[in-house]
Amino acid sequence: MGIDVLIYLVFIVFVIFIFIYVRVSNKDLDDRLNGVLKAVDSNLKDMHEIKEKLEILKEIQLEQNRQVSLYVKQSYEPLIHNIIDERMHKINDILRAIQENIKESRKTHDNRVENSETIESKNNLDDDRKQIVQLFSEGKSVDEISSMLNKSPQAINLILRSL
C-alpha cells in the first residue's frame, strides 16, 4: 500500500507539473498572439482611414462628373431630340408601308390558298368517287377496292351509300 500511495503522489505531482508547464507555455503564446492582434488592429484602423479618404475622393469626383455631364446634357439634349424625332418619323413611315404590303400579301395568299384547297378537294373527291364507282360496277368487292385504293372499307361503303 505504501508503494501505491507513492505512485499516486508521483502521478499527481507529474500532472501538476504538466499543468504548470502548459500554462507557462500558453502565457508565452498569448503574449505573442496579443502582439500580432495589436498589429492587425492598427493595420485595420489604417485601412479604415484610407477607405474613408477614398470615399470622400470618389464623392468629389462623382460630383464633378455630374456637373460636367449635366452641362453636356443641357447643351446637346435639344439637338439629340430633334435628330431622334426625324429618324423615328422616317422609320414609322417605312414600317407603315411594310405593314400595309404584308397585309395585302396575306390577303392575296389566303385567297389563293382557299381557292386551291377548294379545287383540290373537289377534284380529289370526284376522282375517288368515279374510281370507286367504276371498280364497283366492274364487280369488285368493297375489300378489293379498299386494298387497291388504300382506303378503309368503311370509307368505301360510305361513298357507295352516298351515291
* Model pLDDT for residues 37-51, shown as the tens digit of each residue: 888 888 889 999 999
pTM of the model as a whole: 0.31
The pLDDT score that the predictor gives to residue 59 is 92
Residue where the block lists cell 508565452: 28
**Whole-number average pLDDT of the chain:** 83
Continuous segment of H or E residues that includes residue 60: helix 2-137
> Residue 154: is its pLDDT beyond 80?
yes
Q: Which residues touch 136 (CB under 8 Å, ≥6 apart)?
A: 142, 145, 160
Per-residue pLDDT averaged across 44-62, rounded?
91
Q: Answer with the residue of higher pLDDT: 56 or 31.
A: 56
Q: What is the pLDDT of residues 92-151, one digit of tens each?
A: 899 898 999 888 888 888 877 776 666 555 555 667 788 888 888 888 888 888 888 888
Distance CA 153, CA 132 (A): 11
